[in-house]
A and B are shown apart, each in its own frame.
Chain A
Amino acid sequence: MIFVTVGTHYLGFERLIKEMDKIASRINEKIICQIGSTKYEPKNMNYFTFVEDEEKIAELYKKARIIISHAGAGSIFAALNYQKPLVVVPRLKKYNEHIDDHQLELAEVLEKEGKAVVIYDINNLENAIKKAKKLNYKRNKGNNNLIKFLKNISRGWKMKICMVISTPFPPEEGIGYYTYNLSKKLIEKGHKVIVITRGSWNKTQKEKIEEIEVIKAPFLPIYPFYIYLHGFFVNKIFKSLESQIDIVHLHSPLPPLIKTSRPIITTIHTPMLTDYRQTRITSFHSLFSKISAKLVSYPQELKLIEASDIITTVSNPVAQELKEYNIKPSELIITGNGVDEKFFNYKQKKPEGNIKYIMFAGRIDREKGLFDLVECGRYISKERSDVRFIIAGKGRDFNKLKKKIKKIGLQDKFILTGQVNKNQLVKLYQNATIFILPSYHEGLPSVVLEAMSCGLPVIVTDVRGNRELISNGETGIVIPPRSPKKMAKTISTLLDDEKLRKKLGENARKIIEKNYTWDKISNRFLECYKSTVKESS
């Protein structure tokens, strides 16, 4: 059967219908003709004017051996869709078949791409019908580029990310703040974030913290088996959410392993092996946690790494520590740490008074080099009286430090604030003249990022994490660790050189804006997310 269609245009297409009628008298095949507004009445073939029922016309397209059509998009699209041999006769203006010659446009393209035989001279039609038998355009259904493009683009745009952490939320410490800041930025960019963390032992709690959906799964602190028990509950919750989630993002140490077909990204903040080595045995409890780190947490961490598509770390030093884990370089990405550059700003910085404040913030721990700082304070206060030291934070060596300060008689020079909240902290930064971090080892210290973001000149010790962040003399000053004398000298020089202080502070702020804003960090994560989504599709 041959199906002829001329569309619904208000002008007729007599030229085609007349010719078809002639051909119909010569060939032995059934011809059905939709003649539209054409006045001529065919004598040798079945015909109707317009289509009323879409299904009926679909039936005709399907049954037809060849389709003969004007160059209207509707009928050509249908013909190609049913993969029928197609003969196209464009309506032309000179025969009063259309208001212009635009049908030639589509016709030419179809001819060029070999999707149809195009008739410009109506006398060639009969010949073309014979030719069209051989022309069978194949639709490449599974391999359509447009469909592929749409699939990918619609995936990357709005993702639902499930973060799994093991620390309190709303945040109280590093990983919590990291997750919180990252989530907020992702939400700002139009994505959705669910955070799953530990809750109370007997029930699942759900809450919403600034548009972040938080689910607290039951957590029983039976060490060291809590991992498996908590993991069971987390997986149960996750199963009910899985259909809407695009990406799972774990933050270690040490979240439960999620069993899923979705891509998993793991950010390792502190490797278990490092944690294990740094734990000093001072009590029964610390001995116990050291053993369980090696026997339970470490194998669990290995499982996490194996299940992950991509591992990310906050800094280069941590990436170095991860070398022992034999992670493929292509799967290890340094996404960095960020700072809320709008909150920790330099605009509200107070003008300096007569008293200069040297500030430290962080865990009060011997490893942070705080006893060197006290020693250094002793040297400085011999020479000048305008300096005060502020130490913000709490920690296991808090009392020891206090005792030492008292012993030297520097109570009026050292101010220990204890634990401070975010708002108090930013005021301290803005009030200080110099920030100092005398630690013995560091990952990528957030306090330095914060101080730099506040436009403070910083003095740090020459250890890996600090070195990565500060270039000496440009964005801060680097001194060797465990050297109170050198520290005192550097502080003293910097206090006397206002120009240098200003330069260091301004450069520090610039470097923060360039590399360490959450905007930048979240973009890096989005790249990771998108790459895994594409790979697994």
Chain B
Amino acid sequence: MKIALVCSQGGHLNEMLFLMEAFKKHDIFFITYKNPTTRALKYKKYVVENIGTNIRMMIKAFFQVFKILIKEKPDLIVSTGSEIAIPPYILARFMRIKTIYIESWCRIKTKSGTGRILYYFSNVFLVQWPELVKLYGKKAKYRGAVI
């Protein structure tokens, strides 16, 4: 199976790298931000420019990500977060690609902005603290944490 791993640099990337063992039998590639820490990433990767809260960059990212998904045709997208996941998850809905979203480990009692949106777009929505399950709702599942 082909899996797209989507995350921004820093903590989100750290968490994803920690989960790599789960994907080791699959064909994987990253979609991440252009950044010194992701430059060193040894896996196949596509980089997009930092989105942040900039609407124009978000629209641009939609086109970039669409091209990547068309080219790679992944069967599954997994993300540990930050806003870079928003375009691929929304597109995946229309392209019938399955998605798993894992809320960042540092979210214990509060929702993240990305999580709030992707709760409605992901097939499986995981949180890493049991406390968050109640806050998000029925779909959120706690199945352990990265660490």
Interface residues of A (CB under 8 A from B): 53-55, 72-74, 77-78, 80-81, 102, 105-106, 109, 139, 144-151, 153-154, 157-158, 190
Contact: B126 with A158, CB < 8 Å? no
Q: Does B54 contact A (CB under 8 A)?
A: no
- Taking CB atoms, residues of chain B closer than 8 Å to A53 are 36
Contact between A81 and B14, CB atoms less than 8 A apart: yes
**Given A109-B129, A146-B144, does the pair A54, B22 have CB atoms closer than 8 Å?**
no
* A145 surroundings in chain B (CB, below 8 A): 143-144
A-B contacts, 17 listed (Cβ < 8 Å): A53-B36, A55-B40, A77-B15, A77-B146, A106-B106, A109-B129, A139-B147, A146-B22, A146-B102, A146-B145, A146-B146, A147-B144, A148-B22, A150-B19, A150-B78, A157-B1, A190-B96
Instruction: Check A73 against B19 for contact (C-beta < 8 Å).
Output: no
Q: Are A77 and B40 in contact (CB under 8 A)?
A: no
Distance in Å: Cβ of A90 to nearest Cβ of chain B:
13
Quick check: A150 and B1 within 8 Å, CB to CB?
Answer: no
Looking at chain A's contact residues, is the secondary structure mostly helix, strand, loop, or mixed?
A: helix
Q: What is the chain A residue whose CB lies nearest that of B74? A: A158
0/1 interface trace, chain B 78-106, chain A, CB 8 Å (1 if under): 10000000000000000010101010111
Chain A's nearest CB lies how many Å from the CB of B127?
11
Q: Which of B14, B36, B96, B126 contacts A77 (CB 8 A)?
A: B14
Distance in angstroms from A160 CB to nearest chain B CB is: 8
Interface size class of B (residues with CB under 8 A): 35 or more
Contact bitstring B108-145, A, C-beta under 8 A = 1, else 0: 11100000000000001010110000000000000111
Contact A81 B37 (CB under 8 A): no
**In the complex the two chains form, is B108's CB within 8 Å of A150's CB?**
no
Please give, as numbers and ranges, the residues of chain B lying within 8 Å of A74 by CB-CB distance: 10-11, 14
What B residues does A144 contact at CB under 8 A?
Answer: 21, 144, 146
- Say whether A147 contacts B22, CB under 8 Å: yes
Of residues 2 through 29 on chain B, the ones whose CB sits less than 8 Å from some CB of chain A are 3, 10-11, 14-15, 18-19, 21-23, 26
Partner pick for A158 among B1, B37, B106, CB 8 A cutoff: B1
Q: Which residue of B lies closest to A140 (CB)?
A: B147
Asked if A73 meets B100 with Cβ closer than 8 Å, knowing A139-B147, A145-B143, A149-B144, the reply is no
A73 x B1 contact (CB < 8 A)? no
Chain A residues, Cβ within 8 Å of B51: none
Question: Which 6 pairs across A and B sit closest by C-beta, in order of nearness?
Answer: A73-B106, A145-B144, A146-B144, A150-B22, A149-B143, A158-B75
